[in-house]
Every structure is written in structure tokens, then in C-alpha cells.
Structure 1
Amino acid sequence: MSGTMKISHGLPTPGREYLSEIWDKSENHSADHTPGTFAAYLRRSAESLEQQRPMKPVLLPTLTQALLEGPC
């Protein structure tokens, strides 16, 4: 059993820093195994925990008012 978490780099937004950008910085190159970090907890759970319940998809409605129209 394994787990995956997608961490988005997001849209370039002035004044906003995304978690993936923080992890990409050279000073954080070992953050995935530094004790007490979110990444360390994520790694530990992925290595030692096993899903017991069957996974069920969550069906979400499409928010049509949030869709963009016109050429991209």
C-alpha cells in the first residue's frame, strides 16, 4: 500500500507562496525526513499506515458559474 499527495505550485500570485515552492527551495532539501515536519509525518504515515476501509469516490457537482468561457 502506498499513498500519494499532489502539492500544487498554483498560479503565480504576488505575495503568495505555495507549499510546493517552499519544499522546492534548496534549504528545504531534507525536509521530507527532518523530524517534526509535515513531510516527515506524511512519509511516516505512507510507510507505516494501511487503509482499512474501502475507498469511496466523492462525487462533486460541476460549478458552471465558475467555468471560464471564450478562447483560452
Structure 2
Amino acid sequence: MVVGAEDTETWEIAEPDIDAGGDTRVARLTALRRNFEANGIDVRFDLVPGIAHRGLQLQATVQQFMSEVPAGRS
């Protein structure tokens, strides 16, 4: 799981009266991580500082993860 630490805007994803684990992508992914872990699913969670909702800016983190997976280091 990867999300920018500054991805905290609510206008695009917040839905009144719907509990989706939080009002921001950071909160929702954190809730999903906790749910996975509570159910015995191993998770790598990267919260990338200084980045909002900009997928290409997360590319280096994703590439690092992908380079570690075949080696069993995730």
C-alpha cells in the first residue's frame, strides 16, 4: 500500500453518512491496512512524505517495492 502523506483533501472522496474508514485517502488506506493486519494479511505500507494525490510522484516508491518483491524483501 502506498499513499502520499499530504493526500488529505476530502472534497473528492468524502461521502456524507458513509463510513469508508476515514475522510482522506491516508485515513482510508490506514484503516484498510489495520483491517488486513487484523485478519493475518501481511502488508507493506508506505506513507510518502511531502506528496499529495500525485501518482507519478509515488513511482520511485512503487519501483523500489517491485524490485524487492522477487527477492522476498517486501
TM-score range normalised by the length of the shorter chain: under 0.3
Q: Answer 1 or 2: higher relative contact order, Cα 8 Å, separation at least 6.
A: 2
- The two structures have a TM-score, normalised by structure 1, of 0.23
Larger proportion of strand: 2
When Rg is computed on C-alpha atoms for both structures, the one with the higher figure is 1
- The two structures have a TM-score, normalised by structure 2, of 0.22
Larger proportion of helix: 2
